[in-house]
Amino acid sequence: MKLAYNIMTYFSVASTILPLCIYFFIKGKTLNLQLKVLLFYLIVSFSADFFASLHIIYTNYYLINGFTFVEFLAILFVFELQWNSPKLRPLFITIAVVFMAYFLLPFFSILSLGDFYAHINTFKALVFIIMSIVYFSKLTNNTEIPSLTEYYFFWFNTALLIYFSIVLSLFLVMNYITAPGAHGPIKHLWIIHNFAHVIYNCLLAVGLLKWKKATQSL
């Protein structure tokens, strides 16, 4: 089981390379700010996953929590750019401020940056699940998009919804998974996260390919 866990961990790290490769394959095309933010997020994601993979036994929560901070703000910004609504901008700013305040709250308690922020990750997952569901509702009512499966953000949104829905349950039991004495089936539940991460990166890659196809037809 340990071998399968380690293999899936490295496979999860490697899967981040797929959307990165596709991104650089289409870099000659006109990229909007949204995709530039996505590139920044993918680079940070790959870097965090790579260095985290070097600490499979001794988990580096400083790295994980730092990535959580960057991931939340980057994806939130991508959503804000996608909605492109001046009326909703204050809402996105409020969510960002609440998250940053929530993120810094443990500094005033017994927790530190070196502890796993299970509550922060749960909050992050819930926010993106809700945003994804709301955006799907918007997409289904948008008559300007003839085919949802040909629209690049449909795949981005699907990736976010599937990934954060799967890992939300893991975040809720993270204290048990990451406990010093955890081993066996409980410890290796993190394989589910790695599998979800592979699906996530594959769907992001499909979205980038759809973007490339759309720009070629212009």
The 10s digit of each residue's pLDDT in 36-86 is 899 899 999 888 888 777 764 445 667 777 888 999 999 999 999 999 899
**pLDDT for the residue numbered 78:** 95
Measured in residues, the chain has a length of 218
- Domains belonging to the chain, first-starting first, are 2-216 (1.20.1070)
User: What confidence tens digit (pLDDT) does each residue in 172-199 have?
Assistant: 776 565 555 555 555 567 788 888 999 9
101: CB partners within 8 A, 6+ apart: none
Q: Say how far apart CA 78 and CA 35 lie, in whole Å.
A: 8
Specify the residue for token string 């959580």: 68
User: What confidence tens digit (pLDDT) does each residue in 80-121 have?
Assistant: 999 989 999 999 999 999 999 888 876 665 455 445 567 788
Half-sphere exposure of 151 (CA within 13 A, CB side): 15
Neighbours of 33 (CB within 10 A): 10
Question: CA nearest 17: which of 28, 29, 5, 25?
Answer: 25
